[in-house]
């Protein structure tokens, strides 16, 4: 058995509460993760002791704030193994980072007749920016299909990525299907054809060790709030040569070198892409989350979640009337498990589970083209993190069974 950890009982007080008179089981981690006390303390300390704007003052508070802000950048650099801090740009999150790439590099390099390749499993954040770029530029947007078990069809990827391709943008891990995509192989395919590889790391960076240099991706975006940091903060990694050659798309304070009446010049990386006052407290809080995950160990995070999936997935698949989307082999599945109960709308499933104190997500998960591909309107989704236990998995299984009985036979323990 996976015993309740010190993290569950000490570091995440939000998990101690009761919901609908039941102990909370939080299984909506793909949407956002809970914050350890160390992150909350870092935010409080900044606002109570060091609150000042960065890079703009020589007084003590400004120097302390700047030091902590840039220290967070160095932590993010080490966490994803970027070559240098200048390759780490602070953003609002994954969505902001992907839009930044589309609105800068994409605008500069995609022309009429070019091709952009994504997959049918993409989150809207890694779909709409490329869709709209293709529309603006009169380029072609192509989708890589899936295999029968929900993995990326690499044969189709090799057929879709051609010398006309300029950008390949793929989720490192799916927020619905629970698969990890082979970004390194895709980067090789893209580079062979003169294209770049953009990685959506929202669902991967919190759960597995990420080495952007080993993956050889050209850009990689992640969100702080999914890895136990604050909301409104994220990271965009870009190879220095690409960032140096890319013009900014937001202008104002911080990102300038000299401003004249008729023209301006831009400062050096990474600040060229960080116009205006940034989310300073958010960056410092993200640094605290990275410290927490580094201390915990990303290998340990991945192993813990794999134990949960190894335990839960076969039992879930064995339940009559339950459909699980994505691979049925636990070894190919992350801690994201999307499922439906026959004849019961996913929103009703989520509501019934909430009455048992279990928080899951229901809907299209910002992946409507994938839902159409799967012939589904929506799914329920349970997603696990380092503070979840086998008891959480057992309670989910019991509540699913009781939900089935309640809707199918008018019985059960739903409150």
| Residues marked as catalytic | 366
Helix (H) or strand (E) holding 290: helix 280-296
State the Cα–Cα distance between residues 244 and 184, nearest whole angstrom. 23
Tell me which residue of 94, 298, 112, 331 sits closest to 207, measured CA to CA.
Answer: 298
Question: How far are the Cα atoms of 48, 82, 176, 323 from residue 364, in angstroms, in the given order?
Answer: 40, 33, 9, 15
> What is the C-alpha to C-alpha distance for residues 334 and 308, in angstroms, rounded to an integer?
10
Strand partners, 336: 383
Under 8 Å between Cβ of 146 and 171 = no
Tokens of 316: 């879930």
Structure tokens at 44: 């409080």
Cα separation of 75 and 71, whole Å? Answer: 6
3-state secondary structure 315-360: HHHCCCCEEEECCCCHHHCCCEEEEEECCECHHHHHHHHHHCCEEC
Output the CA torsion sign for 10, 15, 20, 26: negative
Nearest to 367 by CA among 113, 179, 148: 179
Task: From residue 70, give the alpha-carbon distance in Å to each of 22, 224, 272, 387.
Answer: 42, 16, 15, 29
Distance CA 367, CA 171 (A): 12
Tokens coding 42: 């870092």
Q: Which two tokens stand for residue 295?
A: 């201390």
Residue labelled with tokens 């007084």: 59
DSSP at 3: P
Q: Return the number of other C-beta atoms located less than 10 Å from residue 350's C-beta.
A: 22
Dist. CA 36–CA 285, nearest whole Å: 10
DSSP state of 4: P
Asked whether the beta carbons of 181 and 152 are under 8 A apart, the reply is yes
CB atoms within 10 A of CB 170: 25
- Find the farthest-apart pair of alpha carbons in the chain and give their distance in angstroms, rounded: 75
Q: How many residues does the chain have?
A: 415
């Amino acid at each position: 058995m996976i015993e309740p950890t010190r993290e569950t009982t000490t570091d995440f007080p939000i998990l101690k509460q009761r919901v609908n008179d039941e102990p909370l089981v939080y299984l909506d981690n793909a949407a956002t993760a809970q914050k350890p006390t160390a992150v909350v303390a870092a935010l409080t300390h900044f606002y109570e002791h060091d609150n000042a704007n960065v890079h703009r003052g020589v007084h003590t508070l400004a120097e302390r704030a700047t030091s902590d802000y840039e220290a967070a950048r160095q932590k993010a650099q080490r966490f994803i193994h970027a070559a240098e801090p200048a390759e780490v740009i602070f953003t609002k999150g994954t969505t902001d980072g992907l839009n930044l790439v589309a609105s800068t590099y994409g605008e500069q390099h995609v022309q009429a007749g070019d091709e952009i390749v994504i997959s049918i499993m993409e989150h809207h954040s890694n779909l709409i920016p490329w869709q709209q770029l293709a529309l603006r530029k009169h380029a072609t947007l192509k989708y890589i299909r899936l295999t029968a078990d929900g993995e990326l069809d690499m044969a189709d990827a090799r057929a879709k990525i051609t010398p006309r391709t300029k950008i390949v943008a793929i989720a490192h891990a799916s927020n619905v299907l629970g698969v990890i995509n082979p970004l390194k192989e895709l980067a090789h395919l893209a580079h062979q054809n003169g294209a770049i590889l953009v990685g959506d790391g929202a669902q991967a960076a919190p759960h597995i060790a990420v080495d952007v240099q080993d993956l050889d991706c050209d850009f990689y975006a992640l969100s702080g709030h999914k890895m136990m940091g604050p909301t409104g903060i994220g990271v965009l990694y870009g190879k220095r040569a690409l960032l140096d050659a890319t013009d900014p798309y937001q202008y104002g304070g911080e990102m300038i070198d000299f401003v004249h009446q008729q023209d301006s010049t831009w400062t050096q990386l990474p600040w060229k892409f960080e116009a205006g006052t940034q989310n300073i407290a958010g960056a410092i809080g993200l640094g605290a989350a990275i410290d927490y995950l580094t201390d915990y160990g990303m290998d340990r995070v991945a192993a813990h979640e794999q134990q949960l999936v190894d335990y839960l997935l076969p039992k879930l698949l064995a339940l009559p009337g339950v459909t699980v989307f994505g691979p049925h082999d636990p070894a190919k599945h992350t801690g994201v498990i999307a499922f439906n109960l026959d004849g019961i709308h996913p929103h009703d499933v989520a509501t019934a589970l909430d009455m048992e104190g279990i928080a899951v997500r229901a809907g299209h998960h910002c992946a409507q083209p994938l839902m159409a591909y799967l012939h589904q309107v929506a799914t329920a989704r349970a997603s696990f993190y380092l503070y979840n236990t086998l008891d959480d998995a057992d309670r989910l299984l019991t509540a699913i069974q009781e939900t089935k009985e309640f809707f199918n036979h008018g019985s059960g323990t739903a409150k």
